[in-house]
């Protein structure tokens, strides 16, 4: 066969010479005009070609290949006998072309080579064959394409009319949507005490509330619009976190982060885990999130220590001296620790002390700091030692940090996380130069609030979480804190307290209010009420903000002693929903 890209020429084969496969050009006299093969003239000085014809007069070797005549391999020269056809010749001759050479010599080049039309016949067959092959291929391709386009995944992807997912009707006409948020307004008609009393007076007498005390304030003017026992102290339960969070936002840098460090111990091969208050450290591998979004990972700490020590660690000790005093609060029930909502208050642990880092309601560890030490030791290939206190200038081998304080505040409020409430209270105590304990945190919280103009008269705190039933606060203290956070003024105190509002759960939407406001009588408050809940045995509180139907922000604090948990909470939801629906003029 000729090399790719070259024209197929007839081969010239010399008698007695080996066939090299080299192709020789055809004399210009050779051409295909009408489909009838013409004789090829021999070059000047060469013997005439010896042509072989079949017994019926048809010229041998005259089939066409690619539209060009193909010789059967007859020799140029004096030898009248043609050699056997070469294997390299394209289109071998038919059986009729194998007879003896014509003794009459070469025919007249001007005569036809055989019966009329014989060359057309030999040329037509390959052409018809090629046409049939091409048509067959086209039919197969069309069938394949049709089957492919009929497949549901393909037709759905291309949106073809017969696709299973094709629309069964015309698309709906687009509706006009106003993409805009309305700001809270302080310029409209202000609500009045009589208007608020008319809206919620009857709801506040619901017997499911037990004894109710409360306060409603307009933060734009500072006016108290409604009050019932507002100056009488009551148990705030988890609304204690509103006061502790406010103190933390006022006393601490919002970007402050809490550390967990590993330092070199006093003996070779010993390291010390030093708790700095980060109780959110994640036990999960890097790239996986626990319930505390953005928490540091224990694996990062292990990698740092391994790099710093070359893996030469055989004992892990604990330093928990960052916190002092008892690890449980006054008035806490024995079953509170460990439980699904609280563990011992220690300055170092994994996942808030929970047994499942992805389940906020999983059971807590009985000794979360020791669990952290054990987990760290296993990952670094060491054993757990005892507790110690390291010097301030100890060599730091590894260090990771919590999320910033304002994020810790947000999570403590949205999920009512008791442990974070205690951590924030202790950080306020440290900032105020007091002991990082229950008593130090409670004392520092009230001092910071009072220094910033908040009336805390009569308030008594024993913890930062609100688990203690011994805590006492007036509703007016809660509404004052919230009114400062929601004030239209942009003074320093209000600016620092703004994250408090972001942390309040949304009615029917997030946190501890996600499953509330489901009744028809309270549905008006869904999405418009934000509030911090508080629940103990015989105690139900709700303190937050609501945007009225006329765009006015009101703050409220409601504290009840209802005995039926569900009924008392539903009654509180109805009151705040009524505030949403009224202009209260």
Active-site residues, by number, are 238, 241, 416
Q: Which of 402, 465, 417, 456 is nearest to 438 (CA)?
A: 465
Please check whether residue 424 is in contact with residue 409, taking contact to mean a CB–CB distance below 8 angstroms: yes
Residues 227-262, buried b or exposed e (16+ Cβ, 10 A)? bbbbeebbbbbbbbbbbbbbbbbbbbeeeebbbbbb
Spell out the long-range contacts of 34-39 with Cβ–Cβ below 8 A and sequence spacing 24 or more: 35/119, 35/120, 35/123, 36/112, 36/113, 36/119, 36/120, 37/62, 37/64, 37/69, 37/113, 37/119, 38/69, 38/109, 38/113, 39/106, 39/107, 39/108, 39/109, 39/110, 39/111, 39/113
Q: CA 89, CA 40: separation in Å to the nearest integer?
A: 17
Please check whether residue 455 is in contact with residue 195, taking contact to mean a CB–CB distance below 8 angstroms: no
The encoded tokens of residue 389 equal 């206190």
Please check whether residue 314 is in contact with residue 382, taking contact to mean a CB–CB distance below 8 angstroms: yes
Burial-class residue 494 by CB neighbours within 10 Å (0-12, 13-18, 19+): middle
The encoded tokens of residue 397 equal 């081998």
- Which three-class secondary structure state does DSSP give residue 144? helix
Q: CA 32, CA 310: separation in Å to the nearest integer?
A: 87
The residues, any chain, with a CB within 8 Å of residue 83's CB and separated by 6 or more, are: 13, 15, 73, 75
Chain-centre distance of CA 210, in angstroms?
A: 46
Q: Which of 211, 203, 248, 43 is nearest to 562 (CA)?
A: 211
The encoded tokens of residue 352 equal 């808030």
Angle, CA 196 vertex, CA 195 and CA 201 arms, to 5°:
110
Q: Which of 377, 263, 365 is nearest to 314 (CA)?
A: 377
Strand 539-547 relative to strand 68-69: parallel, antiparallel, unpaired?
unpaired
Name the packing angle between helices 418-431 and 405-414 (round to 10°).
140
Please check whether residue 449 is in contact with residue 456, taking contact to mean a CB–CB distance below 8 angstroms: yes
Please check whether residue 85 is in contact with residue 92, taking contact to mean a CB–CB distance below 8 angstroms: yes
Angle, CA 510 vertex, CA 504 and CA 514 arms, to 5°:
115
Q: CA 406, CA 354: separation in Å to the nearest integer?
A: 22
- Which three-class secondary structure state does DSSP give residue 427? helix
- Which three-class secondary structure state does DSSP give residue 273? strand
The encoded tokens of residue 90 equal 């394209």
């Amino acid at each position: 066969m000729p090399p790719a890209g070259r024209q197929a020429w007839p081969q010239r084969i010399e008698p007695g010479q080996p066939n090299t496969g080299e192709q020789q050009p055809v004399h210009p006299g050779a051409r295909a005009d009408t489909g009838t093969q013409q004789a090829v003239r021999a070059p000047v000085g060469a013997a005439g070609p010896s042509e072989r014809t079949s017994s019926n007069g048809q010229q041998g070797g005259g089939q066409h290949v690619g539209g060009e005549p193909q010789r059967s391999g007859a020799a140029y020269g004096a030898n009248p006998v043609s050699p056997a056809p070469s294997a390299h010749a394209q289109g071998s001759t038919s059986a009729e072309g194998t007879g003896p050479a014509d003794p009459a010599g070469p025919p007249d080049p001007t005569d036809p080579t055989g019966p009329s039309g014989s060359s057309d016949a030999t040329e037509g067959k390959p052409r018809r064959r090629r046409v049939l092959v091409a048509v067959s291929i086209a039919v197969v391709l069309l069938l394949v394409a049709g089957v492919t386009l009929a497949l549901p995944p393909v037709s759905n992807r291309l949106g073809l009319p017969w696709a299973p997912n094709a629309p069964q009707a015309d698309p709906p006409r687009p509706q006009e949507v106003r993409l805009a948020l309305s700001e809270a307004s302080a310029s409209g008609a202000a609500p009045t005490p009589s208007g608020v009393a008319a809206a919620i007076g009857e709801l506040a007498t619901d017997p499911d509330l037990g004894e109710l005390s409360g306060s409603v304030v307009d933060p734009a003017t500072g006016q108290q619009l409604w009050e019932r026992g507002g100056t009488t102290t009551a148990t705030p339960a988890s609304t204690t976190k509103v006061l502790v969070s406010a103190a933390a936002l006022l006393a601490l840098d919002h970007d402050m982060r809490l550390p967990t460090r590993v330092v070199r111990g006093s003996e070779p091969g010993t390291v010390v885990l030093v708790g700095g208050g980060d109780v959110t450290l994640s036990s999960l591998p890097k790239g996986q999130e626990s319930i505390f979004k953005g928490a540091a990972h224990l694996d990062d700490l292990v990698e740092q220590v391994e790099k710093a020590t070359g893996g030469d660690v055989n004992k892990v000790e604990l330093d928990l001296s960052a916190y002092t005093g008892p690890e449980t609060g006054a008035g806490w029930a024995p079953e509170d620790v460990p439980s699904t909502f609280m563990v011992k208050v220690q300055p170092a642990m994994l996942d808030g002390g929970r047994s499942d880092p992805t389940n906020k309601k999983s059971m807590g560890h009985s000794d979360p700091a020791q669990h952290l030490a054990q987990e760290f030791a296993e990952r670094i290939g060491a054993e757990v030692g005892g507790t110690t206190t390291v010097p301030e200038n100890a060599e730091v081998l590894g260090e990771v940090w919590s999320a910033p304080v304002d994020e810790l505040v947000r999570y403590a409020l949205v999920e009512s996380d008791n442990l974070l409430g205690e951590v924030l209270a202790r950080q306020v105590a440290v900032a105020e130069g007091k002991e990082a304990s229950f008593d130090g945190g409670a004392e520092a919280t009230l001092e910071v609030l009072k220094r910033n103009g908040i009336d805390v008269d009569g308030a008594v705190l024993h913890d930062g979480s609100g688990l203690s039933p011994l805590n006492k606060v007036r509703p007016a203290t809660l509404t004052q804190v919230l009114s400062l956070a929601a004030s239209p003024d942009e003074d320093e105190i209000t600016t620092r307290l703004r994250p408090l509002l972001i942390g309040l759960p949304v009615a029917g939407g997030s946190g501890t209010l996600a499953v509330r406001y489901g009744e028809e009588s309270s549905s008006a408050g869904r999405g418009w009420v934000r509030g911090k809940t508080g629940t103990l045995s015989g105690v139900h509180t709700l303190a937050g903000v609501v945007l009225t139907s006329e765009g006015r922000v009101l703050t409220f604090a409601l504290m009840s002693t209802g005995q039926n948990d569900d009924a008392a909470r539903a009654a509180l939801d109805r009151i705040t929903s009524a505030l949403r629906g009224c202009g209260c003029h």
